[in-house]
Amino acid sequence: MLHLKLWLLLLCQIIDLSKGAQAKQQCRLQLNNDIATAPSIPTSVVPTSPNSSTPSSSSSSTSPAPSRTPFNYSEGPVRGVNLGGWFVLEPWITPSIFEATNDDTVVDEYTLGMKTKNYNETLAMLQNHWNTWITEDDFIAINEAGLNHVRIPLGYWSVPLPSSATNTSTSISPYIPGAWPYLLRALNWAAAHNVHVILDLHGAPGSQNGYDNSGQRTSDPQWALNTQNVTRSIDTLVYIAQQIGGMIDILELVNESAGFFSSEWASVTRSFFSNGYAAVRNAVGDTLNIMIGDAFLGVDAWDGFLTYPTGVNALMDNHEYQIFSIPELQRSFSEHLAFTCTIRSTISSFAAANIWTIEGEWSTAPTDCALWLNGRGVGARWDNSYNGGASNGSCNGWTGNYTSFSSEYKTFLRQYWEAQVDIGESAQGWVYWAWKTESADEWSYQKGLEGGWIPADPTQRMYPDPCSNSSGT
């Protein structure tokens, strides 16, 4: 039974695996596609060391899961949400966590660990967050919203990589570990409620882009500049695939590598994708789907990459936002929609000629007004509090509680949602960023459902054929 295997795997995370190779081998479980019943994991074990935190159940019960067959990505479409801010903190998603530090220099999960004055208190805060930010009720609601996937961002520091699985360092300092058992419970919930999982290495050693969403906000990221970082990333992916590959549908090798940094960075990323794909395939075979990203280079830069027969069950992840530059922010509502439609032919043509393609991150937000979206302590381009452009006016009414949104704004949010869904479904589908936020409703799928600009049935359209008058048709 699947739940027994997952329970044993949880136990393996809280015992000392330094008792020799035999003990380690006994804890290396292969969780294949034998999904049957996946109840919650009832435990109140209190962690006694940084590497042994075990979640308590946040729901009183879980109904037995129906037998879940692998998702057919050739038929699709993927309709999903990102569970952002859960296992990789982002200040704009959960500003309260960062405000509670009373330290403005804590800007990401790296500095949270580095600057903590009381390790146990910070660990307890993180455990409470892991236990409450996303619960089984969220998986139920995601299923009821007609969605079939979640994408779960994960940092390398949350993967309990043993020294036997890598020739590189296994140090994660200054990060605070402990999220792994909560991830295992989440996979149980996904199985119970017929939600498929994309597991995404969102934070890699040395930071793959320097953004806070990699775990470390830095102007000097080192991931691609240090072969040990790249090797450790591959070893981490292999470990994930061996331990829980049967509980996930797609393993994404890394999120948003900054290929635009240099030709060297782009080349390392390309080699990493080739070598990471091969390593995972050698470890677990062809069943597990493997996803790469376009590394901010556009999908056409990957023409012919990992196509059949070199690649089997490979996917491309494309991200589309129109808010991180001043020219994009100056677009009118109609211009945002028109630009969205120009993307359609690019995405659908690439998917048809190369590998399955998913719009793995996008949002209805037309501004960068959400508090700390550009980083803790950083303002917004929209109102000229960051980056010195022409102001588009106040951020009031563009972010925060949706009750302050005008009817015109909410109409646009609905149109923008439909247009971007149309782009995703011209290929293999879409995954919205994000399911929830603390205080930026324009980014929240959950609040979009509540506020009415996202339909309860994702097949419903108020504005059918949004690109019918666009060159993107």
Q: Map residue 313 onto helix, strand or coil.
A: coil
Give the start-end residues of each E strand in 219-264: 250-252
Question: Which residue among the candidates 256, 359, 418, 442 is catalytic per the annotation?
Answer: 256
383 contacts: CB under 8 Å, gap ≥ 6:
369, 391, 392, 393, 394, 395
Say how far apart CA 164 and CA 306 lie, in whole Å.
Answer: 29
- In three-state secondary structure terms, 208 is coil
Q: Please give the single-letter amino acid code of residue 133.
A: W
In sequence order, the 6+-apart residues with CB closer than 8 A to the CB of 128 are none
**Eight-state DSSP code of residue 252:** E
Q: Answer for the pair 87, 215: CB distance below 8 angstroms, yes or no.
A: no
Q: Indicate if 256 belongs to the active site.
A: yes
- Whole-angstrom Cα distance, residue 161 to residue 235? 8
CA distance 181 to 158: 9
Q: Which of 27, 29, 25, 42 lies closest to 1, judged by CA?
A: 29
> 71 near 196, Cβ under 8 Å?
yes
Write b or e for each residue in 267-287: b if 16 or more Cβ atoms lie within 10 A of its Cβ, otherwise e.
ebbbebbeebbebbbeebeee
Helix (H) or strand (E) holding 77: none
Residue with tokens 């991931």: 223
75 catalytic, yes or no?
Answer: no
Distances (CA, A) of 14 to 4, 179, 294, 455: 16, 12, 37, 42
- Indicate the burial class of 411 (C-beta count within 10 angstroms; 0-12, 13-18, 19 or more): middle
Distance CA 467, CA 465 (A): 5
Which position among 136, 361, 418, 442 bears the catalytic label?
A: 361
Q: Which amino acid is at 246?
A: G
Give DSSP secondary structure letters for 384-442. Answer: TSSTT-------TTTSS-GGGS-HHHHHHHHHHHHHHHHHHHTTTEEEES-S--SS-GG
- CA 84 – CA 88 distance, rounded (Å): 7
Which residues carry out catalysis?
256, 361
